[in-house]
Structure 1
Amino acid sequence: MKLINLLCLALMLVACKSVEHNTSYSPSFTESKKTTHTISKEQQYTFGYLEVLENRAKPNGPRIKLPVYIFKSRNTDPQLDPIIYTVGGPGSTTMPSAQYMKYYMYLDDRDFILIEQRGTAFAQPSLDCPEWSQAVYTSNLNTDKNEKQNELLENAAIKCKKRLTQQGIDLNSYTTTDIAADINDLVNVLKIETYNLLTISYSTKIAQVLMRDYPERIRSVVMDSPLPLQVNYDEESVGNLLESLYAILSDCASNAECDSTYPNLKQRFYKFLTATTQNPLALNIQHPTTKKEVLFYLRGKDIINLFTSASTAEVPHIPYEIEKILNGDLSTLETQLLQLFQKPGPGSGIGMRLSVWCAEEYPFSSQKRIQDETTKYPEVLGLSPVVFEDEICKIWEVKKVAPIENQPIQSNIPVLVINGEYDNETPVKWGALMTKHLRNSYHLIFKGWKHTPTTNWSNPCAMEAANDFFNDPNTLPKPDCLEAIKTPKFTLKKN
């Protein structure tokens, strides 16, 4: 059976299109007592909805509503330039962050604003695709052997698109440039004179568009795990994954204790992945509800998912987990497979993700390079590097954005680029590429960490660095906690 790897980046990606400004168009912000989440009574805030045009080229067209939280600083004399924050994906929701403001040190100095991206879970409308979630669930469990995986997903895309378009939704209006224009509208409506941007993964593309198209009021920008506009994610995601794993296992080999405990681990594991690609590993897993046995066949491209899903906190255990597999202990793989039995969700934001990807990433990617990426690594032969296959984007059929959305920006705005050393989704090399084109930028790399370091709640060092930068955007932040971050101390065999 073929497992689905959606590569859901705390994510990731995209590009944009130029927007015609309509002088008769006026966005609005309306406060609301009914919020998306329960907020602590100790936290002062305003909640409401930004109302904007779905398509700014159609002044009489439909309007959409985007939830916004404005959290007041804990400082009695705060800085006047707030931080605007939105998360990655594309398709992820920013709103759940509202519940955890006591952990955000940014509020010690200034107000902190959350905005939901159009088309995501709490936006109105939300471009949900439950059909897609059901198709992934069915395909993963191999419950319908009469339909191939691609057919399931293609049918799901057809059904979701038909339902959304019948609701009058313009799927071409859910792009990064539209989201950037939404944020600019929010700044204008709230009469914010200057502001800072905090973006992670995919939303760093939103930051790049804002810096290019609406730079006047931006004071500073933090890009955590950036994806440059000019990078074509689908052309190299498999290689990035293997490079990340290679770096982890090389660091183990460079450590005397780790190397003696797991000798030649890199070579042995890569050999194992190649062997299972040629002769799949069969695993029977009991369905937790029906108690029936479901047979899975795992190849190298499936087993590698163990490492795409690993968090920063789990990195030190990776050599140990690999050794367990090589010794025939498949308990960790079994635990992961059990997660596939969870009922499918509502597919929140999948439609928005499809619109962004199929308009901004897919058209600029070389199908030849994608095919090469799928076949060039014997350890994970057949692992597709793409987020959505070619046929899916043909079904979704949104307009390709302008070429400028696949080109690097130039800017003098102060930018802090943050990367995790072992991040396979948005690797360090992409952060380095960003700094080449941003003349007033700094680059921090967190050793041993993975994707989106500023959201590493077990160690808020990257958040501290980001906050220091917002307070002094013309200096590379060097918080004391950085000195304590070293190459991970890898877990050794347990007795």
Structure 2
Amino acid sequence: MKFVKQRFMPALLLFMCMSPVFAGGPGKVNLRPCRVSDVPGGGRCDTYDVFENRLANAGRKISLNILVLPALSTPAAPDPVFWLEGGPGGASTQAVGPVSQNYLRGLRKDHDLVFVDGRGTGKSSPLKCDDIGETPSNLDGYFGKLFPSGLIRACREKLEKTADLTLYTTPIAMDDLDEVRNALGYERINIAATSYGTLAAQVYIRKYPQHVRSAFLVGVVTPGFKLPLPFARAAQNALDNLFQDCAVDQRCHDTFPNLKEEFYAVLARFDHGPLDVKVIDPATKRKRAVKLERENYVEHLRALLYSTPTARFVPLVVHQAFLNNFIPFGTMATEINLGGPQTSRGLYFSVTCEEAIPFIGEKEIVDETSGTFLGDRRVRAHIAACAEWPRGKVPEDFIQPIKSEIPVIMFSGDADAAAPPWIADAAIKLWPNGLLIRAPHTGHQVDGPCTWDLMQAFIRAGSVRHLDTSCVEGAKRPPFASRLE
């Protein structure tokens, strides 16, 4: 999700069928050597079958894709680290290279690192839509209406031919994960997670606390988050922080002295409908005319605010748009694709249409979106998409706050445009052995040596006591950009 590429490019797993080298639970998993791009020495891979309908314990099966990077020392510590990826719809194994070399780089010495693609993601029977207007290969759709109902319906009809779309919820996926844990022979695990993965981690902890030693959660989302309802306030907070930081940065202020005014002037141009703008077609590298919808313009700007390294381009993009040059905007928008090809959008809708949208009321929409640049179009487009999607059931108490004695760190960025910091502020109060860390000038993609070192130190200790978090205080924005690089 960072410019120029997404934060985690998919790790290409090239399976090599060889003799079994590891077995967890009796006869359940036979991990075999496999090559993994970006990971010297590769890892150990296998699949594990679960019933799609766990309650019936019969019918269609899903082969869950498993990748283990064994500890480098012998014997390994008994408590591995399980990585839970964001989304919903992201696959853990696709993040293995960057995660193992950055977030978890020091932990592999003593701990196995475990990556499991949840049902409906990655190589675990992925629920992928052909195209719902989210790929730059279709520029008209990419800059048009969000979640066109006809394309959502076509995706549902395609996926329903093989899958029961009501059986792809977070609680069910966490039941799968615990079955895999048992099959691999681990009694207690550490969890490291980002974004939606933090919600999944909390659901797992609520269901299986006896099997969790610690959890490090980055960009915290809770079961009561009601995605995408908080996006509007979160993005507004991130944008306001950026305006303030630009105003006190001499170079940014001198280059973009009227940034805030220009931002809202561009928005006003959408009052009479979509704008006719020119962007660079990434396929041909030539200019192309497209109709740009307001809801899509602001959603792509929110994507820019996701991470600190991409947010530095916002003043430039806004100023050029004010000058009727949307080339920088289009270039950034096609590079930063939140619904990219690795995301299983079918899984995204199965999760959010069951776990979030039914709990959103009209008053909440008005209260949480009024006065924000994102407005209510994003959440209403999502609600309309869910009207095309079959809905299952989650437990009645699903959105209730989670209480736990498990040691946890909740790490949030002050300028997070997706999971605003006040979500973690409220959640941590119910975790007496937890610690809240808020990083200044930081977006949703909390990355870098400070985060990595804190995660590793915490998981090694299994406790927040005596943890030195002073490195967070030095977090700064990178210089604002004056041109695309």
**2:308 matches 1:312:** yes
Are 1:62 and 2:56 matched, yes or no?
no
Deviation at 1:426, TM superposition (A): 0.6
Q: 1:247 to 1:401 in 2, by over 3 A?
A: same
Cα drift, residue 39 of structure 1: 6.6
State how far apart, in whole Å, the 2-side matches of 1:108 and 1:143 are: 44
* Aligned 8 A contact 1:54 1:63 in 2: yes
What do residues 174-195 of structure 1 show as CA deviations (whole Å, max 9, x unaligned)? Answer: 1100111111112211221221
SS of match in other structure, 2:64: strand
Residue 393 of structure 2 corresponds to residue 400 of structure 1? yes
TM-score between both structures, scaled by the size of structure 2: 0.82
Indicate if the aligned counterparts of 1:197 and 1:221 stay in contact, CA closer than 8 A.
yes
CA distance in structure 2 between the partners assigned to 1:240 and 1:69 by the alignment: 34
1:463 to 439, 449, 452: 452
CA contact (8 A) 2:230 2:419 kept: no
Counterpart-to-counterpart distance in 2, 1:233 and 1:485: 28
Distance 1:27 1:277 in 2: 64
> Is 2:227–2:352's contact at 8 Å kept on the other side of the alignment?
no
RMSD of Structure 2 on Structure 1 (CA): 3.6
CA contact (8 A) 1:469 1:477 kept: yes
Aligned position for 1:475: 465
Match of 1:265 in 2: 259
The 5 A counterparts of 1:43-62 are 43=42, 45-62=43-60
* Secondary structure at the counterpart of residue 204 of structure 1: helix
Deviation at 1:408, TM superposition (A): 0.5
Distance 1:28 1:200, change over 3 A: farther
Aligned residue in 2 for 1:161: 156
Q: Distance in 2 between matches of 1:303 and 1:395?
A: 24
Q: Residues of 1 paired with 2:204 and 2:269: CA distance?
A: 48
- Which SS does the other structure have where 2:444 is aligned? coil
- Contact 1:271-1:379 within 8 A present in 2 as well: no
TM-score with structure 1 setting the length: 0.80
- Residues 454-482 of structure 1 deviation map (CA, whole Å, 9 limit, x = unaligned): xx3xx232111111110122326325643
Residues 480 and 226 (structure 1 numbering): CA distance in 2 closer, same or farther, change over 3 Å? closer
- How far does the alpha carbon of each residue in 1:70-125 deviate from its partner, in whole angstroms, 9 at most, with x for none? 211234454321111120111111112234534433213411111111011210x2
Give the aligned residue type for 1:461: C
Q: Report the equivalent of 2:132.
A: 133
Partner of 1:207: 201
Q: Identity percentage over the alignment?
A: 23
Partner of 1:331: 327
Aligned to 1:430: 423
Stretches of structure 2 lacking an aligned partner (at least 5 in a row): 1-5, 9-24
Distance change in 2, residues 1:309/1:126 (3 Å) = same
> In structure 1, which of residues 179, 189, 195 is the aligned counterpart of residue 183 of structure 2?
189
Question: How many Å apart are 1:336 and its aligned residue?
Answer: 3.9
Structure 2 residue identity aligned to 1:127: L
Matched ranges for 1:297-446 at <5 A:
297=292, 299=294, 302-303=297-298, 305-310=300-305, 311-327=307-323, 329-336=325-332, 349-370=344-365, 376-377=370-371, 379-380=373-374, 383-385=377-379, 389-446=382-439
Equivalent pair of 2:199/2:223 in contact (CA under 8 Å): yes
Matched residue, 1:110 = 111
8 Å Cα contact 1:119/1:349 also seen in 2: yes
CA–CA distance in structure 1, aligned partners of residues 183 and 353 of structure 2 = 31
Count of matched residue positions in the alignment of Structure 1 and Structure 2: 456
Q: Greater CA deviation, 30-39 or 239-248?
A: 30-39
